[in-house]
Amino acid sequence: MKYRNHNLRKGRASTPGTYYHIIINTHQRLPLLANNKVASIIFETFDWLETKDRIQWICIMIMSDHVHSIIELGIGQTLPKVLHSLKLFTAREINKSLSRRGKFWQAEYRDWAVRDEVALNKMIYYCYANPVRKGLVKAARDYPYWRCKYEMEW
């Protein structure tokens, strides 16, 4: 039997009002994301999804080849629907801005439901510390492609 990632999604439920930590990767992990123009498109798309009550974002960390986000899923929404919208729009706009064509995002994504406030805080800190772990900055506060609705202490 051939392994297929989409089989992992079978039987999984998206629960409105639940917080999720989501990671999406660029196609073939190409380092296309960590620049001002691309980051603006991604941040603005999360803002747009929030204004339409599809999500409430908590934090967004844009690395060179992937994006971490922690969101609260809106009423009547599912992760596949929200992520389809996010990926479709950002792929088109980013490809246009970079004068490129072709696949932009990997089809699959990883997600973890947040069970409680302790887990939420750990996930936010995990996202925040990612550029330090990757050796991109010495202090997380110095990384430019990060947004969080909470003030971070380190």
Hey, is 35 helix, strand or coil? coil
In the structure, what pLDDT confidence band is assigned to residue 65 with cuts at 50, 70 and 90? very high
CATH number of the domain bearing residue 16? 3.30.70.1290
Q: Is residue 154 part of a domain?
A: no
Tokens of 115: 């069970």
pLDDT at residue 151, rounded to an integer: 85
pLDDT at residue 10, rounded to an integer: 52
In the structure, what pLDDT confidence band is assigned to residue 97 with cuts at 50, 70 and 90? very high
Taking the C-alpha atoms of residue 47 and residue 54, their distance in angstroms, rounded to an integer, is 10
pLDDT at residue 5, rounded to an integer: 53
Q: Is residue 153 part of a domain?
A: no
pLDDT at residue 100, rounded to an integer: 97
Q: Is residue 95 part of a domain?
A: yes
Q: At what angle do helices 36-51 and 79-97 cross, to 10 degrees?
A: 150
Q: What one-letter code names the amino acid at 29?
A: R
CA 154-23-113 angle, 5° bins = 85
Q: Is residue 113 part of a domain?
A: yes
- Per the structure, how many domains does the chain have? 1
Domain that holds residue 85: 5-148
Dihedral (CA of 110, 93, 95, 147) sign: negative
